[in-house]
Chains A and B, each alone.
Chain A
Amino acid sequence: MGRDGRAEGDVMDDSFEISAAETELLDVYERLHAILAEHGEELPPFAQRNAIKALAALWQVANGLGRQPGQVYDVGA
């Protein structure tokens, strides 16, 4: 049982409301991930490595907003 007394198999909705600005940050995260996945190897080192660092930070935003940012090792983060 969970602390609120729910039984096995009783799955609940885990979403919560976020602001417009936070939604934009999620979009930036998704776009940055897509850029690195599709073009990461084409970027010069300074651009690729800084973008990876930014993605690692934005992953914390997506995760903290309760989204499912997945794992990002595929693009070096």
Chain B
Amino acid sequence: MPDSRYWNPHTETLPLDRLEALQERKLRDLLDWTFARAPWQARRLREGGVEPLSVQTLADLRRIPFLTRADWMAAQEADPPYGPVLTQPPEAAIRYHTTSGTSGGRPLAVLDGAKDWEWIAEMWCYAFWGFGVRPVDTVFFAFGYGTFVGFWGAQYACEKLGALVLPGGNMSTEARVRMLADCDATVVCSTPTYALRMAQEARRLGIDLPGSAVQRLILSGEPAGSIPATKALIEAQWGAKAGDTAGMTELGTVMMFECDHQPGGAHIIEDHYVEEVVDPATGEAVGYGELGERVVTSFGRGFIPVLRYRTGDLVCRVSADRCSCGRGFDVYDGGIRGRADDMKVIRGTNVYPGAVEAIVRRVATWRSSRCACTPPTASATRSRCRWSSPSAATTCWPSSAASWPRRTRACGSAFGAPRRAACRASS
């Protein structure tokens, strides 16, 4: 009998040499397909000196030029609505989706065929199964079901693996909380922030979430799912285990998931992707344990081949043996740590919103926070950390960005547990 701990016991437990051999064969197939059917991508590759036979192994991957969001977006704007990236005519597609639009720019539009859409659900199956979701489960989706791809693939994954799906679209938070409690949902899918919001609403309604049927939360859409303090807060307020996932519309689905051993990070689905981690400034590979930018090559979606896409996600890759689950898939320690374009240099120190959240969430009584960084001005030349609440406000003047964590904790103590906090920094 196959080991039912894994969605695909063949590939999830492959030894490293076999896993890399599988990736290499898929990489060669992807190159063949791209050169045959994706002229825009093929031209970019040729301009970078890459020919079909010049990429045979993972070591050759570095020869492929990076693809950036700006490249893709410019191509789409020059040739709307999808750009010249498709391998098939649009009428061959069955799904249209867009990026979330949270970057501030125009959303990127993508198409998928029937096989691609099934693959998108397949990737979510790794995540759900790996976190312990089974056919007996009832899964509630706190999701808007719009053009943003979000949890769409996750819903189809739950149908595929045989769980009962509760679609919580177009509902108020109160209605969602009542429904998941009334229907005995055992799994809830949402963003980390919204999981906290639903818990807040449940308290207002007198609904005992820790006493409910919910056993697992599948989180996605924000780095907070792997921020220990935020995750602990969510797990405490729900009385359930929380598992992090991360995906992107450019791939159509998730590329990493946290298994039920909860190793403090997310496994890369390495039989379907090659993930590289590079220095955001130089593009050179960084080693295990070093923070860098994710670069992804996907073997899944044939409609839009994606090779060496600069994601902007900051990650810290560690070996698969970080986790005791037996998978051969490496782990992104701490999930996605932040965005390369979110980083602010304050007095010579790299500061990420996620790092601030990791500190703020340690103060148990704080329910929310806000962090704003402004560029230096003539009148504001010092780092400033301002905290406020309905009952009190104070301002700290850290001597350097490195003292932020200490100052932040000191400010929190001075407040005496404010209900709301706002953090503002300038330098």
* B122 interface residue (CB < 8 Å to A): yes
Q: Which of B18, B60, B92, B302 contacts A76 (CB 8 A)?
A: B92
Partner of B21, one of A8, A9, A12: A12
Most chain B Cβ neighbours within 10 Å, of A68, A73, A77? A73
Q: Is A1 a contact partner of B10 (Cβ separation < 8 A)?
A: no
Q: Are A12 and B20 in contact (CB under 8 A)?
A: yes
Is the pair A16, B10 in contact by a Cβ cutoff of 8 Å?
A: yes
Asked if B114 and A14 sit within 8 Å, CB to CB, the answer is: no
Contact yes or no, A77 B21, CB < 8 A: no
A64 interface neighbour in B11, B20, B33, B59, Cβ under 8 Å: B11
Whether, in the assembled complex, A24 has its beta carbon less than 8 Å from a beta carbon of chain B, the answer is no
Mark out the residues of chain A between 36 and 77 whose CB falls within 8 Å of any chain B CB in the assembled complex. Answer: 52-53, 55-57, 59-60, 63-66, 68, 71-73, 76-77
Q: Is the CB of A6 within 8 A of B20?
A: yes
Q: How many A residues touch B, CB cutoff 8 Å?
A: 32
Could you mark each residue 16-30 of chain A with 1 if its beta carbon is under 8 Å from any beta carbon of chain B, else 0? 101000000000000
* Segment among B22-30, B250-258, B401-409 that sits at the interface with chain A: B22-30
B3 at the interface (CB under 8 A from A): no
Cβ-closest chain B residue relative to A14: B21
The residue from B24, B56, B59, B60 contacting A14, defined by CB atoms under 8 A apart: B24
User: CA–CA, A72 to B33, complex, Å?
Assistant: 12
Residues on A with C-beta less than 8 A from B118 are 56-57, 59-60
Taking a contact as CB atoms closer than 8 A, the residue among B8, B10, B29, B57 that contacts A9 in the complex is B57
**Across the interface, which residues of B come within 8 angstroms of A1, CB to CB?**
59
B90 within 8 Å of A by Cβ?
A: no
Q: For A71, what are the chain B residues with a Cβ–Cβ distance below 8 Å? A: 33, 37, 87, 115, 302
Q: A1-B59, A8-B60, A16-B10 in contact; A66/B115 too (CB < 8 A)?
A: no
The contact sample of 29 A-B pairs, CB cut-off 8 A, is: A2-B58, A2-B59, A3-B16, A3-B58, A4-B17, A6-B58, A7-B59, A8-B60, A9-B56, A10-B57, A11-B56, A12-B21, A56-B118, A59-B119, A60-B119, A63-B119, A64-B10, A64-B11, A64-B122, A66-B22, A68-B25, A68-B29, A71-B87, A73-B87, A73-B113, A76-B92, A77-B113, A77-B114, A77-B115
**Chain A interfacial positions (CB closer than 8 Å to B):** 1-4, 6-14, 16, 18, 52-53, 55-57, 59-60, 63-66, 68, 71-73, 76-77
- B residues adjacent to A (C-beta < 8 A): 8, 10-11, 14, 16-18, 20-22, 24-25, 29, 33, 37, 56-60, 87-88, 92, 113-115, 117-119, 122, 271, 302-303
The 5 nearest A-B residue pairs measured at CB = A12-B21, A14-B21, A56-B118, A56-B114, A56-B115
